[in-house]
Chain A
Amino acid sequence: MREEDLQPGGNRFPPTRRSVIEAVRSIDAEERERALEALCAAYWKPVYKYVRWRWNRPASDAQDLTQGFFAELLERELLEKFDSSKSRLRTYLRLCVDSFVMNEVKAGKRQKRGGTIPHVALDFAAAEEELGATAIDPAKIASPESLEEFFEKEWIRSLFALAVEDLRNLCEQRERTRTFRLFEAYDLEGNEKSSYEQLSRDYGISVTDVTNALAWARREFRKLALDRVRELCGSEEEFHRETRAAFGWDSK
């Protein structure tokens, strides 16, 4: 077998995108903004929920602090100081959040932020609803491991939710909305009683069609989720580490 036979065929795998960490240091303002948008899209919910949970701040304060944090990330160029060989991006961001909130508390200031952060729709009401639906063990509150665990889990939730949205968009573009509905019904909302047979009856298609549709959707979801992780990583090594964390391969 030749080396090229081992390469993935066609254009199934678009070339690796420039990581947000590299792009955020770019001299091109447009590229920098796009990178920050990607970063905010992946991290604003974990940051908001973390401020609510760890710092026990009311929703209105947490909203301002979240917006303030991302504004500060830009203003003080905090990502310039991040070194992927020394820590994980999410750990670095979490510690930056802690430091930012502590400074805000000390200074006793709480100003309305906005306008300077990237154009990411921050649906705080939905985040609040999600927070209510998230099971939190009160016994674990405030232990360092639980803070890291909480932030990581919310990062994974945010990342997967973005990949699911990407998949929804892809299905719409490819006119495969039924495929997305099957994926939603089985992989997102399904339970132990869900079965391919039941779906084939519900949608009036063969079990083989259900199997093929779900295989396609999972393959695309996986690819999109990996693209999202890759986008946030500065090196191949970091990408592998973060992928293992996101997909839970270290704990299996």
Chain B
Amino acid sequence: MSLKLSHQDFDEILGKLRQEYTIYAPRRFKDRGRFSDTDLIRYGEISSIKDMVWNEKSNFSPKEIIFPITQTIFHFTEDDYREPTIDSKKTIIFLRACDINGIRRLDTIFLKNGNDKDFYYQRLREKVKFVLVECQSSFDNCFCVSMNSNTTDNYSIAVRFNSDSLLLDIQDKDLDKYFGGVGEKVNFTPEFVTENKIKVNVPKVAEMPVEMYDHEIWDEYKSRCIACGRCNTTCITCSCFSTEDIFYDTTTNVGERRRTWAACHIDHFTDMAGGHGFRKDNGSRMRFKSFHKVYDYKKRFGEHMCVGCGRCDDNCPEYISFSNCINKISKLVNS
């Protein structure tokens, strides 16, 4: 079913949906951006279409909705381990094709790598319906076309935002009931970006040549990369975490076990008790991340990890271009 709706009509539908769903979309956080007088756009709950930023790319991905930055995994009372309960409301996320494809990578790690499914990821993920936000043009630093993640048919609704109206392609029968008797029936299917300004050649090798691991191309990142981990935290596909226990006060045996995002660019990622660790220099961390995104993840799972959202490049304080780095690797190994 395809409909044309006014913003006001859609807001009324959102109001009804909110009784059953928590609705997340990119929101503007004024003056919270990475430079003075710039805004931060990241995911948050919305109650009206006016809350949503639909004509810019978000700085952060929607992954934090299903893989929170910090998540309590157990509450402790003496020797009792208890899982926290979660909100019973279901979830709707407004997101772009690259992020829908990125969440498939998260599903792969949390639900398919090894024999065990991640309990905490699964219970949040199962509640999610996607609303695809059509990209009318490519944004800065995007290279989704090169990564084959510019298109998707995995959505409940696809939406095109116009300044005075919305076009919707409603695929999910569960949601039909919300759209009865409103709007105008039209023919609409979403279109996808078919060209980005940035084009990337991924390395086409079954096995990365051993000389690439300590190649001089990594040297520049030794000093340019400051190991802040912004590329990891803003990436839709980075899924690493660390676990730690905390107690609420020292007089009672009450506390919790938490997991928190971890990042391969940040110090201590590989450190073990006793102090031994790997990849002390930032150049080898850049190499490790790059090969994961465009080489060894594919070797394990059959598709590249990187979806080309370009957020790593949008957010790097040192203006390191990952797309440029991939092209440098490919130039060396494909020639």
Instruction: State yes or no: do A and B come from one complex.
Output: no
